[in-house]
A and B are shown apart, each in its own frame.
Chain A
Amino acid sequence: MHPHDFAVQARRTDAASAGHAPPAISDYALIGDCRVAALVSNAGSIDWLCLPHYSGPSVFAKLLDPNGGSCSIRPSVPFTVTRRYIEDTAVLETIFETNDGSARVLDCLPVLDGIGTVRPMREVLRIIEGIKGTVPFAALVDPRPDYARTKKVPKRRGRLGWAYLWKNEILNVHSDLDFSLHATAIEAAFTIGEGKRHYVSLAYSQGEMAIIPPLGAEANDRLEQTLAWWRKWSAQVVCKGPYRPQVVRSAVTLKLMTFILSGAIIAAPTTSLPEELGGSRNWDYRYCWLRDAGMTMEALVGLGITDDARAFLTWLLHATRQTQPRLQIMYDIYGRQNLEESELTHLSGYRNSRPVRIGNGAHSQQQLDVYGEVVHAAWVFSVAGGRLDAADARMLKGVGDIVCRKWREPDSGIWEKRGRQHHYTFSKVMCWVALDRLIKMHNDHTLVLDDVTSMQRERDAIYQVVEDLGFNASLNAYSKFFGSDRLDASLLLMPVMGYREASDERVASTFSLICDKLAKNGLLSRYEPEATDIRKNEGTFGICSFWAIQQLAMRGEFAEAEKRFVHLLSFGNDVGLFAEEIDAVSGEALGNFPQAFTHVGLINSALALEQARPVSAQEVKS
């Protein structure tokens, strides 16, 4: 496969086994409406959907337990499957080929105006279309609300379909298929012929009367409007060069994880997909991490998606208001802070990777780098021409004050290590970034600092401490934390964050050592484990590998950077999605999926590559 091309890979899937063996993480594709997101397997099954928003309770959770509930539409005879996103959109097309014909399933969550019209709160629309010959299909809808803690028998409502009711919520299944009841599930068997279409619409409402969207021509219209919405949104992505398809796919994926009602961007739409198969490192990522803020803002601004950049900054500065000027490391989509962690013991976990967790206990950790991330995000936004208002400036100055007070304290570091705190070098660097950007904004009159001299003094003090204690002379590299002899890939961000030039001797030697010691099969791990560390066999981190590419591009080593970039792209799945981690041996995706931060890394690397791309003789001539 040419690395620049998203040609889909055909996979032989046996219908007899489909739906029984859990799909690989990379077998999933993401659909959504910027409020909720669903994972669709390459066997046509929606195995993950939370309502009414990303971090709400699941309705379909077969991803985490065979009895978690799903919505499956697939041929009832052996088939092969190919799939793709319709160009520049989040509409998924899954094509099933059988001996007697082929058919496709189009999956989307219609993105429509819910104020100017009367629409359901959320809708999943599945359209089955015959392409050639005839294909026998089996459809099953089996919602298990509240993380499968609730089993509801649906009520038949005549021509309106089937209604699953729980609490003050309703999921209405409306279809032109003849569904019948089997325990809590409804099932239908049908055969589709060439040019015919069938429809399954799952409409959800909470606390309001259900709206049941029509099928047929009106459903086709909703699909067309959704395609048009995504194409219009994607058209604003500014990125030239051979990697535009991958960049647009990453941008669309990022948009799918952007909660349109607040501007928050979640880390991933899933919980507890394991970092190691069968292991216990299973976390809930359906929240917003501030540590991702600066790089995410660089990606949004770099792509010219200014409306989303503004919304994201507004969320960053205002949703965090309740804890300001102190910042938590994560918040939920509305800025709520109490993300109490608990375990869902009734779920067996993805391929028996227990426990399944909801909430995230790391929310109460101290992580000093988040201050730098937030200020850096605001600076990137303002440099790109965005305006900060007086309240924004006040909040940022408050962050500066707290950094001046706190930077001498130890913290848990960017990787949220539970247990003993350290003086992480990257955390100190990001404290330096926070003060440096504030001083820059003061100098260009974006805001006015009360005492810029003392802030400069603190910034320089941080710099001195990092150089004295963060740089390990015997290693000839910056180390993970003060006094450590271990490396950490986050330090690849030093030149990206403007701490030192990419060509700087210390930065270059750190880069070389990280690539030497943390690389596996051309991919980077996030850090060298300590002697006492239990995480010795974790996968490599996609984001860290992208950071290395970014630094290479900044240094002008275009050919090497591009070679690594192409290699890294080969680890995306058939529709261009990346998880948090990649198993360096098998190439399998690990951890929550898809991961916003990895896609942010892809975008920033691609942008850096385009900046570093040598100008050809023909371009010079023209």
Chain B
Amino acid sequence: MTMLMSQSLMLWGLIATVCMTTILEASRGFGFSRMSLPFIMGSAFSGRRSNATVIGFALYMLGGWLFAFLYFLFFASVGIYTWWLGAIVGLVHGAFLLVCAIPLLPYVHPRMASEHHGVTARRQMEPPGFLAVNYGAQTALVTLIAQAVYGGVLGACVQIQQAMMN
């Protein structure tokens, strides 16, 4: 059963990542936020916008898959396989990103500027600020929704599979 779950997780991870990415990118298109997590990831590895965008999307999809396994481990550890638990985990994950991980970026990202150190030839990207509010006032809300959808889709997929096996 675990083997079957692992294989399915590959697909669910992809579906959940696609949903989350679509929400985040659509939020940029509709003017809710200017943040692009794939671009942030990709630009850590390349100073070319074209390369950064492609690399970023590849890494982001890969990250989505890897996190799917972590989510599944959590579901298994508490023995609850539901969409709502997935959504809650996604919300917590999103809050962690916004409060802890993203504000740290100016200190670890090689191309991100900081308000304290200013701009250099290499560091020119706008820093996110607390809750990534620099990228738009609704960035935090959109990120939380996208993460909740990611977790919710994963949880729902596992829930459906469980129901089918029973």
Among residues of A, the one whose C-beta sits closest to the C-beta of B128 is A209
Decide: B125 and A205 in contact? CB cutoff 8 A.
Answer: no
A195: interface (CB < 8 Å): no
A160 touches B49 (CB 8 A): no
Query: Is A160 in contact with B28, judged by CB distance below 8 angstroms?
Result: no
Q: Given A210-B34, A212-B124, are A168 and B117 also a contact pair (CB < 8 Å)?
A: no
Min CB distance B128 to A, Å, is: 8
By secondary structure, the B interface counts as loop
Q: Is B144 an interface residue (CB 8 A)?
A: no
Residues of B within 8 A of A160 (CB): 113-115, 118-119, 126-127
Cβ of B22 under 8 Å from chain A: no
Chain A, 155-184, contact with B by CB distance < 8 Å: what is the 0/1 string? 001111001010110101010000000000
The segment from B7-15, B36-44, B71-79, B145-153 found at the interface with A is B36-44
Residue in contact with B126 in the complex, picked from A114, A119, A172, A218, CB distance below 8 Å:
A172
- Does A531 reach chain B (CB closer than 8 Å)? no
Instruction: Give, as a whole number of angstroms, the nearest-CB distance from B50 to chain A.
Output: 5
Check if B34 sits within 8 Å of A207, measured CB to CB.
yes
Q: Is the CB of B49 within 8 A of A207?
A: no
Cβ–Cβ contact A207 & B31, under 8 A: yes
Contact call B119/A167, Cβ cutoff below 8 A: no
Q: Give the CA-CA distance A118 to B40 in the complex, in Å.
A: 12
Q: How far is the CB of A320 from the nearest CB of chain B, in Å?
A: 26
Query: Across the interface, do B119 and A118 meet the contact criterion of CB distance under 8 Å?
Result: no
Contact with A along B44-56 (1 / 0, CB 8 A): 0001111010000
Q: Is A213 an interface residue (CB 8 A)?
A: yes
Bits for B115-147, please: 1 = Cβ < 8 Å to A, else 0.
Answer: 111111100111100000011100000000000
Measured between beta carbons, the chain A residues less than 8 angstroms from B89 are: none
A-B contacts counted at CB < 8 A amount to 88
- Chain B residues with CB under 8 Å of A207's CB are 28-29, 31, 34
Q: Are B125 and A168 in contact (CB under 8 A)?
A: no
CB-based contact B33/A168 at 8 Å: yes
Smallest Cβ-Cβ distance to A119: which chain B residue: B49
Q: In the complex, how many angstroms separate the beta carbon of A533 from the nearest chain B beta carbon?
A: 45
Taking a contact as CB atoms under 8 Å apart, the answer to whether A115 and B49 are in contact is: yes
Q: How far apart are B140's CB and chain A's nearest CB, in angstroms?
A: 15
Residues of the B chain whose Cβ atoms lie less than 8 Å from the Cβ of A215: 119
Residue of B35, B111, B120, B135 contacting most chain A CB atoms (<10 Å): B135
Cβ contacts under 8 Å, B134 to chain A: 157, 163
From residue B52, how far is it (CB to closest CB) to chain A in Å? 7
Chain A residues whose C-beta falls within 8 Å of the C-beta of B84 in the assembled complex: none
When distances are taken between beta carbons in the complex, the residues of chain A under 8 Å from B36 are: 208-209
List chain A residues, Cβ under 8 A from B69. Answer: none
Q: How many Å lie between the Cα of A158 and that of B52 in the bound state?
A: 27
Q: How large is the interface on B (under 10, 10 to 19, 20 to 34, 35 or more residues)?
A: 20 to 34
- The minimal Cβ–Cβ distance linking A298 to chain B, given in whole angstroms, is 36
Number of interface residues of A (CB under 8 A): 29
Residue A385 lies at the interface, judged by CB distance under 8 Å to chain B: no
Q: Is the CB of A211 within 8 A of B118?
A: no
Q: Which residues of B contact A157 (CB under 8 A)?
A: 115, 134
A118–B34 CB distance below 8 A? no
Nearest B residue to A114 via CB reads B49
Contact of A118 among B32, B33, B111, B135 (CB under 8 A): B111
Task: Kindly state whether residue A116 has any CB partner on chain B within 8 Å.
Answer: yes
List A293-347 residues whose CB lies under 8 Å from chain B.
none
* B114 CB contacts on chain A under 8 angstroms: 158, 160
Contacts of B39 in A (CB 8 A): 208-209
Asked if residues A218 and B34 are in contact (CB atoms below 8 Å), the reply is no
Q: Roughly how many angstroms separate A138 CA and B49 CA in the complex, as a whole number?
A: 36
Complex Cα distance A210/B132, Å?
13
Q: How far is the CA of A208 from the CA of B127 in the complex (A)?
A: 12
Complex contact B124–A213 (CB within 8 A): yes
Cα–Cα, bound, A210→B119 (Å): 12
Question: CA A559 – CA B125 in complex, angstroms?
Answer: 59
Min Cβ gap A179→B in Å is: 14
Given known contacts A118-B124, A168-B28, A168-B33, is B119 in contact with A212 (CB within 8 Å)? yes
| Docked-complex contact B31 and A214, CB < 8 angstroms | no
In the complex the two chains form, is B49's CB within 8 Å of A118's CB?
A: yes
Whole-angstrom CA separation of A205 from B33 in the bound complex: 12
Residue in B closest to A115 when the chains form the complex, CB atoms: B50
Q: Report A181 CB to chain B, min CB distance, Å.
A: 16
Q: Which residues of B contact A218 (CB under 8 A)?
A: 121
Residue A117, interface by CB 8 Å: yes
Name the contact of A115 in the complex, choosing from B29, B48, B118, B124 (C-beta under 8 A).
B48
* Chain A interface (Cβ < 8 Å from any Cβ of B): 114-119, 157-160, 163, 165, 167-168, 170, 172, 174, 205-215, 218
7 contacts between A and B (CB under 8 A): A117-B49, A157-B115, A206-B34, A208-B28, A212-B124, A213-B119, A213-B124
Query: Top 4 closest A-B pairs, CB basis?
Result: A158-B115, A159-B118, A168-B31, A210-B126
